[in-house]
Structure 1
Amino acid sequence: MKIAIISATGKQGTILTEKALDRNHDVTVFVRNHNKLQFDVPYVEKDILDITREDLQGFDAVFVAFGAPKGKEELYVDTTKHFIEILADVDVKLMLVSGTGRLYVNNNRTLRVADNPSMPESIKATAHKMAEAYDMLTEQNQLKDWTAVSPASMFDFNGPETGDYQIGTDTIILNSEGRSYVTYSDFANAFLDVAEQDAYPNQGITVVSG
């Protein structure tokens, strides 16, 4: 596949780039500062909101691994709106790293993680804005094929690659050990598997390790 990876120098973007290259995909990355790149790949140096429809022509999939700086959480909404606009009616699979905040904590879907009173204040804005960005995706009809992938509650950058994961949709799921836990590597593998299989179109999913 010919893949564009947006925000490829962040934690998840870096791992997605590594995994995509390991699978011999044709990768081009979009970054604000190419000096932070860890791989010798074609790149486009642009702010995320300056990326154009023309920049993304010819790709089979576009991965967005954007993480907003603290205090600028509104950018989750702005960037999602931007990609909806520039990829409207384009025959491409848009894959986004979404947030846990959009997920429901109960099976009757009355309480989202973002609205849980016990949520730490430090991550509340991120959870709410990422959930708002996801809702924007579900309400639009301009994109031909999109999938938003949310991690488990515990998202472990240093955790091992287990080679085993489970997928859910709109509610928090637990792994075989009863934990809402996923490593960055397992998340990236699930992300790429979904892209390669063109699975779960026009919906959100969530991933746990094991």
Structure 2
Amino acid sequence: MDSYAGKFRSPAEISYPVNVNVTSIHAFSEKVSLITNGSDPVGRAAALQLALQGSYVIVGDPDGSGSGGLDDLLELGTLAAAVNADASSPAGAAALSAGVQGKFERLDLLVNLFGYDGQGTAAAQAMIESVAELMTPRPKPRIVNVFRLAEQGDFHAVEAATMRLRRELPGHFQVNSIAVADETAAADDIARVALFLLSGESKAIRGETIKIR
């Protein structure tokens, strides 16, 4: 029987295309992430998935209940913090921004989580404005807004707001939104979509709204 020894090349011997990352499709190592609501199931799932892939994470704890998942994040060994603040209010957005400034002095990734009640897109924009100074110096700042839709027509409002944000933000920002119309969609699955949009694999996707239905 012929020996297979020497017939296969090691990964180091294989010539990959220059732009292909063969080690990981997500590169969040040492990036600072802000999840505006760690008590939300999607926010909690996104925070854990980011931490597992090397990100430093700050979570918002809007009701001060301690349910933002900070203990779970710390158990993973990542640098993490929680801020008792509700991002839907201007004061809460400012408190979250101050928390990031005090802990890390920079911000690479922002995940906004809001219901859509006619004010959700305005709250998301206010949150973005609050952290803009922390994100602008970063080379690849990325933002994902996650909205839970109450009515079918809300999707078009979210879509328009996302396109407006793309036009208004500096050119090196990447902003996209997820519109959740299916109440049965699993939080982990929605979080995976968010992580894709935060990753370098999505660099060609800008100002888009992905509908989960």
Equivalent residue for 1:76? 121
User: What displacement does 1:144 show?
Assistant: 3.4
Equivalent residue for 2:162? 134
CA distance in 2, matches of 1:143, 1:16: 25
Whether the 8 Å CA contact 1:10–1:67 is kept in 2: the answer is no
Amino acid at match of 1:29: V
User: How many pairs were matched up?
Assistant: 161
Give the counterpart of 2:113 among 65, 77, 92. Answer: 65
CA distance in 1, matches of 2:200, 2:163: 24
CA distance in 1, matches of 2:179, 2:130: 25
Identify the structure with the greater strand proportion. Answer: 1
CA distance in 2, matches of 1:15, 1:124: 25
Give the counterpart of 1:8 among 22, 31, 38. Answer: 38
**Which consecutive residues of structure 2, in runs of 5 or more, have no partner in the other structure?**
1-30, 74-80
Change over 3 Å in CA distance of 1:30–1:94 after alignment to 2: farther
**Equivalent residue runs for 1:121-200 within 5 Å:** 123-124=151-152, 126-142=154-170, 144-151=172-179, 154=182, 156-158=184-186, 184-197=187-200, 199-200=202-203
Bigger Rg, which one: 2
User: What displacement does 1:193 show?
Assistant: 3.3
Structure 1 segments, 4+ long, off by >6 Å, are none
Tell me the secondary structure at the aligned position of residue 33 of structure 1: coil
Q: In the TM superposition, what whole-angstrom CA distance separates every residue of 1:159-206 from its partner, at most 9, and x where no partner exists?
A: xxxxxxxxxxxxxxxxxxxxxxxxx32332232233232633643253
Tell me the secondary structure at the aligned position of residue 34 of structure 1: coil
Equivalent residue for 2:3? none
What value does the CA root-mean-square deviation take over the aligned residues?
A: 3.3
Whether the 8 Å CA contact 1:99–1:131 is kept in 2: the answer is no
Tell me the secondary structure at the aligned position of residue 73 of structure 1: coil
Equivalent residue for 2:58? 28
Equivalent residue for 1:173? none
CA distance in 2, matches of 1:21, 1:82: 22
CA distance in 2, matches of 1:5, 1:100: 16
Change over 3 Å in CA distance of 1:198–1:4 after alignment to 2: farther
Tell me the secondary structure at the aligned position of residue 8 of structure 1: coil
User: What displacement does 1:143 show?
Assistant: 6.3
User: What displacement does 1:22 show?
Assistant: 2.8
CA distance in 1, matches of 2:155, 2:39: 22
Q: What TM-score, normalized by structure 2, do the two folds share? A: 0.59
Is 1:46 matched up with 2:49? no
User: What displacement does 1:59 show?
Assistant: 2.2
Whether the 8 Å CA contact 1:4–1:59 is kept in 2: the answer is yes
Amino acid at match of 2:123: D
Amino acid at match of 1:15: A
